[in-house]
Structure 1
Amino acid sequence: MTAIPPPAPWADLPFFKDRWPALEARLAAEEKPWLPGPARVFAALALPPEKVRVVILGQDPYPNARHAMGLAFSVPPGTHPLPRSLANIFRELHDDLGVARLSGDLSPWVEQGVLLLNPVLSLPEGESFGHKSWGWQELSRQVLARVAETPTAFVLWGKPAQGFAAPLIQEGGHLIVASAHPSPLSASRGFFGSRPFSQVNDWLAARGAPPIDWAA
């Protein structure tokens, strides 16, 4: 595996000096194929911190190579059927704002300042949470702490996301939208009907900022 450079907008984070060399070596020694792979592992962090307006926090990448692309919940263009959590997200988007979105590629959201961050950035193909203990969470904590230096909308689906982010975003004039996870196991227990997309846009409008075009 060739060397993976830190994402330039975030390269000054302590993680990349203190922890990344050992984690990178561990990835290079991984016997199984790992996702989303060297070219996409830092895809979410192509968005500079000063451009982040909204954070949607995931868990770890999709364990399927056809789905994992380094952005939380997003899948490559043309993916059908959609992962069930993403299908539920689109159902709620339609119920909330009347948006009938077809493509599971959420890159256009990123271009508008939505950080789609998985706290764990890699896994062995086919093994959810397979790299959970490798130390990625420290990077994600530093990313969230940097983002939280300015008012930001945080969308936290499920208790793991809420518990992970809560200590880092208590103050600062943020919007915190918390509900059940869109997984089929929990979506009916508080995700459906939570209206996260309109909440974010209402908050942005109140701040005089343009809304997110969730249909893009």
Structure 2
Amino acid sequence: MAEGIPVPHAWADLPFFQQDWPAIAARLRDRDWLPGPGRVFAALELTPPEKVRVVILGQDPYPTPGHANGLAFSVTPETALPRSLRNIYAEMREDIGAAPPNGDLSHWARQGVLLLNTSLSVLPGQAGAHAKWGWEKLARQAVARAQAERPLAFILWGSHAQKALAGLPRPQDLVIESAHPSPLSARRGFFGSRPFGRVNDWLKARGEPPIDWALSETAAAE
């Protein structure tokens, strides 16, 4: 099933796609995996390097069939909010007074929020199944490529994201680190961290438009 998956054109110069992707694609061949060939590179396709303004890093796609849409923390519009995303929206309402009506974060990606997971594939029902396949090289290379375009805002939730991108943020970048929004850790520093307003204040200070975090695809289409 991995044969013939096109590499995102804007990111094709990353060493990962020459050195690591062929072996991963071969391992995916003839397997049932999520989010599937049509969505595996959705984060990179929706947010090319010259458009990246904010980086949010997750771990791997949701392992429930029909939930993952290829963007970190995001789910298909008809899917009930996962617990971490429910906490993200709760914090957003406290921070900026609104949140999207469903869990599809595609509108963030189109505004320059790179919603990348450190692993871009997973087996159904087996979270973390492909965590040691070498996917993490792509995350670091993609972030470094985006940094060549402009200063970035990093929202790093939990130790996994913080360790995965350790050493990449520069003095000119904004770095917001907190506990992960998972119910197991959200009350250890995620709630009250106000990342959405802080990112927008930083962007506006740089003369850039803020992220419209609460915009929904439904509202945008009306």
Question: What CA distance in whole angstroms lies between the structure 2 residues aligned with 1:137 and 1:19?
Answer: 10
Q: Equivalent residue for 2:50? A: 50
SS of the residue corresponding to residue 166 of structure 2 reads helix
- Going from structure 1 to structure 2, the CA distance change for 1:124 and 1:68 (only over 3 Å counts) comes to same
Question: What CA distance in whole angstroms lies between the structure 1 residues aligned with 2:178 and 2:140?
Answer: 20
The ranges of structure 1 where at least 4 consecutive aligned residues each deviate by more than 3 angstroms after the TM superposition are none
Q: Equivalent residue for 1:157? A: 157
Q: Equivalent residue for 1:97? A: 96
Q: Equivalent residue for 2:175? A: 176
Question: What CA distance in whole angstroms lies between the structure 1 residues aligned with 2:201 and 2:183?
Answer: 27
What letter matches 2:76 in structure 1? Answer: P
Question: What CA distance in whole angstroms lies between the structure 2 residues aligned with 1:98 and 1:77?
Answer: 21
Is the Cα–Cα contact under 8 Å of residues 56 and 114 in structure 1 kept in the other structure?
yes
* TM superposition shift of 1:87: 0.3
Question: What CA distance in whole angstroms lies between the structure 2 residues aligned with 1:172 and 1:124?
Answer: 38
RMSD: 1.0
* TM superposition shift of 1:63: 0.8
* TM superposition shift of 1:205: 0.7
Q: Equivalent residue for 1:6? A: 7
What letter matches 2:66 in structure 1? Answer: R
Question: What CA distance in whole angstroms lies between the structure 2 residues aligned with 1:166 and 1:199?
Answer: 21
Question: What CA distance in whole angstroms lies between the structure 2 residues aligned with 1:166 and 1:176?
Answer: 11
SS of the residue corresponding to residue 188 of structure 1 reads helix
SS of the residue corresponding to residue 145 of structure 1 reads helix
* TM superposition shift of 1:29: 4.2
Question: What CA distance in whole angstroms lies between the structure 2 residues aligned with 1:100 and 1:11?
Answer: 34
Q: Equivalent residue for 2:219? A: none
Question: How is 1:80-119 mapped onto 2 (pairs within 5 angstroms)?
Answer: 80=80, 82-119=81-118
Question: What CA distance in whole angstroms lies between the structure 2 residues aligned with 1:112 and 1:210?
Answer: 9
Structure 1: segments with no counterpart, 5+ residues: none
Q: Equivalent residue for 2:131? A: 132
Aligned residues: 212
SS of the residue corresponding to residue 167 of structure 1 reads coil
What letter matches 2:128 in structure 1? Answer: F
Structure 2: segments with no counterpart, 5+ residues: 216-222
Question: How is 1:134-149 mapped onto 2 (pairs within 5 angstroms)?
Answer: 134-149=133-148
Question: What CA distance in whole angstroms lies between the structure 2 residues aligned with 1:11 and 1:172?
Answer: 28
What letter matches 1:104 in structure 2? Answer: G
Question: What CA distance in whole angstroms lies between the structure 2 residues aligned with 1:174 and 1:166?
Answer: 13
Is the Cα–Cα contact under 8 Å of residues 148 and 172 in structure 1 kept in the other structure?
no
TM-score of the two chains, using structure 2 as the length reference: 0.93
TM-score of the two chains, using structure 1 as the length reference: 0.95
